[in-house]
Structure formats: C-alpha cells, structure tokens
Chain A
Amino acid sequence: MNKVLIVAEHDGTTLNPSTPKCVTCAADIPNSEITIAVFADAPDDCAQQAAKLEGVAEVAAVARPENANQLAATLAPQLAALAADYDYLLAPSSTFGKDVLPRAAALLGVGQLSDIMEVIDARSFRRPIYAGNAIVTCSVAEGSKVVATVRVASYRAAPAGSNAAPINPVSLDVALPDHTRFVELRAGGGDRPDLQTARCVISGGRGVGSADNFKLIYDLAEKLGAGVGASRAAVDAGYVANDMQVGQTGKIIAPELYMAFGISGAIQHLTGIKDAGTIVAVNKDPEAPIFEIADIGLVGDLFEIIPELDQSLSG
C-alpha cells in the first residue's frame, strides 16, 4: 500500500478545483490510498467537499486558528508532522502549493519534484522543464518519501460522487512561528469564470492597447461565458490584474477553447496554453509566431474583428 497525503487548497469555504485534480494524479500511483489534509480554522465545509471526491479514503481535518490564512510558514511544520507517516506528499502546482510544499519538504529533509504531469510507476514521473520545451523522466530512490507538486492542467478533476470518506479531526502538537503575518488579499480579476477551470478562455495581449480597450475582450467573454486571460505584456502595461497572466510564470491552463487577441505567441506565453483543446489566434501580423501553433488563425485588426465576431455569434 502506498499512502498518499494531498494538501487541500481552499479559501476557507470552498475546495479549489486543483485539489480534485491532485486526487486523479494520486490515483495513478500504484496501490495508492489517498488522504486529503484540510488545514483551516474551521475545516468542516472543505472537509465535507473533500470526502465526496471519488478515490479518497480519508480526510484529515486540522483545525487551528492560525490556519485561517494559508501561510507557508505556519502550514509547513504541521504538514511535515502529518506527512511523517505517508509515502507520498502531494500539492497542486498553484501559487499555494508552490509556496508551502518545498518548505515542508525541506523540513522533512527531502527534495521535491515540481509539476508532475504523468505517473510512470511508483517511483518515476514525467515533468516539464525549460518552459515545457523538454519533458524529463525523474525517478526518486526507493525508500525516500516522494514529495511533489502536481501540474493541474495535466489532470481532470476527480468527480464529486457518492463517496463518503471518513473525516478525522487531527490535532498536531507543533509549535508555530509568529514571524510571518497575513495583512490582506486583494482579489484581482473579479468574478469571471476561473481561468484554470473555464471551458473557454479569451485572452488579450499588448495589441489590445489599453485597459479601456480590454472591455472588448470582457464583453466577448461575457457572451461566451468565458474566463479572461492576458499576456505578460498586457499585465505589465497595467491593462489587467496580475492574476490574469497566462504562461510560464502565470497560469498554465487547459480550456477546450482558447482565443488569443493581439498576442504575438512568445514561448513563455505558449507554455501556458499547450494543453488547450482548440487555439484561435487573431493578430494583424501574418508572421506572428502564435499562428505556428494556432488551430484556427485569422489575420486582421482585433478592433474590427471582435465587433464582427459579436455579430456573427448573435446571428
């Protein structure tokens, strides 16, 4: 039996979709027995959501006031203590998982694999390097704990079915530091569909030209029920919030439909959309590199094309 511990990502009330994706990855590990750990001040809601996920054997609920904010400095020592009895420790490769997991790994005295995209066997995994321009096989030695973040864009979410895994309250006797304090979270992109789960994502780049012009992108997204993304250049220029950046250093997404307007297609951007079902590119430059990977390309001015699209979609 391979005991797998997954750290749940949540906002206090709702489990992030990254967690059921980690469950799917964990289920690929031979003979896995999956436990989800929910660290929160009041973990009940999220623990119940986790318990419904198919394939989950147990939920460990760690209630503690310090867990109200998911700070790596406070979570890592608890996670390291809890993970002592497990063979595998997994977290999503979201900013949450990337922040907390290496800290826990170091406390456990082991290394970590980042962004696993495929389980080959109990000890071997595939992961992307060089912004996804190469895929490597990595093997962790027998007897060593496997600590890894899961590239969530590579996995479908485990369904929330009729499962009812037992929820066990766990109290950990771990001293927590007070050197790190949460001040505030300023939410960015608003209440649009989440980029990492949206079926369709519409993105704008530097070609959109201004924050005001981005309204065109939002309106089209509204019409299609799509999430809205952006290139780094659009974020740097202040057109949109940072959490909308797609790419190597932003979000890695896998929507069924991705539409890029005024984005040139730098490798760092393409890294974020390689798993998309269909990629559409609209760019006024016929030589733009994005056309090399687009399934459907249209050369033209986005300021003319978006209103026309709007009409055709209504027709």
Chain B
Amino acid sequence: MQKILVGLKRVVDYNVRIRVKEDGSGVVTDGVKMSINPFDEIALEEALRIRERGDASEVIVVSIGEEDCQQQLRTGLAMGADRAILVQTDQPVDPLAAARTLLKLIEKEQPELVILGKQAIDDDCNQTGQMLAALWDRPQATFASQLELNGQQAKVTREVDAGLEVIEVDLPAVVTTDLRLNEPRYVKLPDIMKAKKKPLETLELSALIDDAAPYCAIGEHAAPPQRSRGVMVNNASELVDALRDKGLVN
C-alpha cells in the first residue's frame, strides 16, 4: 500500500481537570496543557507499525484547526509520520465539516487506508470516521482493537457492547481506533529535532470546503451536577447494614 492518512485532533490533555467558565461560554482552556487526542495517537501508532512492517510506504498526518495544531502535527512527525498537513481555520469545525475536509484531502492524496480515533475526548462526538466513510462511499471499521491487512482487504476486530465483532472490509477503508489497539510509542528527543525538518504543508479550510457552518449552535455550558462525598463505614457488616437501611440488599 502506498499511503495511510491519519487525523490528529488538538484537544485538552486527558489529565486536565475540566472546569466550566463562570459565564457558561465554554470550558477553561487558557494555560491548559494541549495534546494529541489519545485515540488519534493510537491511530498514528498503528499506521507507523504498518509502515514499519513494510505494508505501507508513507504516513501522512492531518490536523484541522487553528495554527497551534502545528504543535500536535510536529509531535506526530516526531513519532514517525513522514509529512503533515494543517488545514487552518479559526472557526469551530464539527464532525461533518471535518469529514468533508478529509474527503477533499483523500481525493488529492488517494490513500488506501484512513485511520482516525473513534472519538475526540473534548466533544466526545464519535462521528467523523463514520461520516467520512459515508461521503467517500467506502467501508468503515469503527472501534478497532485489532487490524490485520491482507492485500486489498483488512480484517478488523471491533469492540462492541456484546463483545468482539470481526468484520472484513475491502480497501480503501476508514478505520477508527479503540484504546486497546496498541500502546503508542514515546517520542525521543533526537526525533523531535529531526521532525523540525519534515514537511508541514498549510492549507486554508475555506480553500477546501465552501461552507463549514456547524450543524448545531452550541449554547450555554454548565457544570454537571456534583455527587458529594458520602459516609465512611468501618467494616463489612456496617456496609451491609447501610445497604439494608437503603433497601438495596436483602
């Protein structure tokens, strides 16, 4: 296979405790650590492993968003991607707009495989891969925990509510990653230096798709109802008594 395209979304790091702004206009992102969406890191790791096995020749990472997404693309290059594309916009990009944008890049780059994270941990939408596969009129294999390539086909094990589902898809296809697909590598310092020399192309979103108006208007943000600390008991029999008092056990 020639090319694998991987999407990298810039998100608030998963370790950050999210706080809603006082005025309800969003969550606090000033001075907060930003990272590659964890599922996308897994997507990139998978693509790199495929290339390292000799089953692909080039891995391209793409990010859609503001200029700062370059940081995440540079990290992707340091992990081992060959080149990067930033589709720049200051507007919010919803999953349908992201899918339409990725489709434009696919038409240009003609990858045999597109690997995306199953969801971004900021908006938790879990839509982009499926929408892209629909617009591209190609197979989708979502929530992948195992990916096996056999020539023009891929066998994908998917984590579903009932267990593990195995499907076979013709390539080209879109695969979205679940957490157990692999464990991403750590970036080493010399790789960060090398990554600075790798190509990073910038395109304007408006040059690729005409109307990126979001599907829904996002209004007020609120903190979720908080659960508070309850009581502590000292031993198992006190615990059972407490549960019996609440009528939760016999």
Residues of A within 8 A of B (CB): 11, 71-73, 76, 94-96, 98-107, 110-115, 124, 128-141, 144, 177, 179-189, 196, 200, 224, 232, 235-236, 241-243, 248-249, 251, 256-257, 267-268, 274, 277-280, 282, 291-300, 305, 308-309, 311-313
CB distance from A309 to the nearest CB of B (A): 5
Not counting A94-B161, A103-B134, A105-B131, a sample of 19 additional A-B residue pairs whose C-beta atoms are within 8 angstroms of each other reads: A73-B139, A76-B134, A98-B126, A99-B142, A102-B128, A105-B134, A111-B94, A131-B124, A180-B139, A182-B167, A183-B166, A257-B248, A278-B246, A280-B243, A294-B230, A296-B242, A305-B239, A308-B236, A313-B250
Within 8 A of A (CB), among B137-182: 137-143, 145, 155, 158-170, 173, 178-180
Contact A185 B215 (CB under 8 A): no
A98, A181, A184, A186: residue with the most chain B Cβ atoms closer than 10 Å: A98
The answer to whether A130 and B163 have CB atoms under 8 Å apart is no
Residue in B159, B162, B223 whose CB lies within 8 Å of A134 = B223
Question: What's the least CB distance linking B182 to chain A, in Å?
Answer: 12
Q: Which residues in chain B, 103-139, are within 8 Å of chain A measured between CB atoms?
A: 118-119, 121-135, 137-139
Complex interface: chain A residues within 8 A of B132 (CB): 106
- B134 A134 Cβ-Cβ under 8 A: no
B18 interfacial contact with A, CB 8 Å: yes
Which residues of chain A come closer than 8 Å to B121, judged between CB atoms? 130-131, 248
For B145, list chain A residues within 8 Å (CB): 242
The residue on A at minimum CB distance from B169 is A180
Q: Is B209 positioned at the interface, with any CB of A under 8 Å from its CB? A: no
CB distance from B20 to the nearest CB of A (A): 5
Residue numbers in A under 8 Å from B167 (CB-CB): 71, 180-183
In the assembled complex, the CB of A236 is this many whole angstroms from the nearest CB of chain B, namely 6
Interface size, B (range): 35 or more
A185 pairs with B221, CB closer than 8 A: no
B residues 1-45 touching A (CB-CB < 8 Å): 12, 14, 17-18, 20, 27
User: A114 touching B126 by the CB < 8 A rule?
Assistant: yes
B130's partner among A72, A128, A183, A184 (CB-CB below 8 A) is: A72
Contact: A242 with B235, CB < 8 Å?
no
Our pick among A95, A137, A139, A298 for the contact of B159 (Cβ within 8 Å) is A95
Q: Which residue of A lies closest to B176 (CB)?
A: A99
Q: Is the CB of B123 within 8 A of A129?
A: yes
The 6 A-B pairs at the shortest CB distance, nearest first, are namely A111-B215, A308-B236, A295-B230, A102-B130, A188-B163, A106-B134
Residue of B nearest to A304 (CB): B236
- Asked whether B231 is an interface residue with its Cβ less than 8 Å from the other chain, the reply is yes
Q: B229, A293: Cβ atoms under 8 Å? A: yes
Instruction: Pick the contact of B224: A114, A133, A141, A309 (CB < 8 A).
Output: A133
What's the least CB distance linking B154 to chain A, in Å? 10
A104 to B137, CA, bound (A): 12
Inter-chain CA distance A99–B161, complex, in Å, is: 11
B188 at the binding interface (Cβ < 8 Å): no
B217 adjacent to A141 (CB under 8 Å)? yes
Chain B interfacial positions (CB closer than 8 Å to A): 12, 14, 17-18, 20, 27, 94-96, 99, 118-119, 121-135, 137-143, 145, 155, 158-170, 173, 178-180, 214-224, 227-240, 242-243, 246, 248-250
Of A133, A185, A294, A308, the residue contacting B163 (CB under 8 A) is A185
A313 B240 Cβ-Cβ under 8 A? yes
A133 to B226, CA, bound (A): 10
Give the CA-CA distance A163 to B166 in the complex, in Å.
Answer: 37
On whether the beta carbons of B163 and A186 are closer than 8 Å, the reply is yes
CB <8 Å contact, B222 and A134: yes
Q: Tell me whether B134 and A102 are in contact (CB under 8 A).
A: yes
Nearest A residue (CB) for B226: A293
The closest CB in chain A to the CB of B133 belongs to A103
**A130-B180 CB under 8 A given contacts A113-B216, A186-B164, A308-B237:** no
Task: Give chain A residues whose Cβ lies under 8 Å from the Cβ of B231.
Answer: 295-297
Contact A102 B126 (CB under 8 A): yes
The distance in angstroms between the C-alpha atoms of A243 and B157, with both chains bound, is 13
- B163–A189 CB distance below 8 A: yes
Query: Assuming the A-B contacts A112-B215, A248-B121, are A11 and B162 also in contact, with contact meaning beta carbons closer than 8 angstroms in the complex?
Result: yes
B143 near A95: Cβ-Cβ < 8 Å: yes
Q: In whole angstroms, what is the CA distance A309 to B238 when docked?
A: 10
Complex Cα spacing A200 to B46, Å? 38
A184 — nearest CB in chain B belongs to which residue?
Answer: B166
- The one of B155, B224, B232 in contact with A274, judged by C-beta atoms closer than 8 angstroms, is B224
Would B249 and A313 count as touching, CB distance under 8 A? yes
Contact of B248 among A98, A187, A278 (CB under 8 A): A278
Residues of B within 8 A of A294 (CB): 229-230
**Chain B hits for A112, CB < 8 A:** 95-96, 125, 127, 131, 215
Residues in A whose Cβ lies below 8 Å from that of B128: 102
Contacts of B160 in A (CB 8 A): 95-96, 99, 185, 243
Q: Of the candidates B141, B178, B238, which one forms a contact with A249 in the assembled complex, judged by CB atoms under 8 Å apart?
A: B178
Determine the chain A residues whose CB is within 8 A of the CB of B165 once the complex forms. Answer: 182, 184-186
Q: Which residue of B lies closest to A236 (CB)?
A: B180
Bound state CA distance, A100 and B238, in angstroms? 47
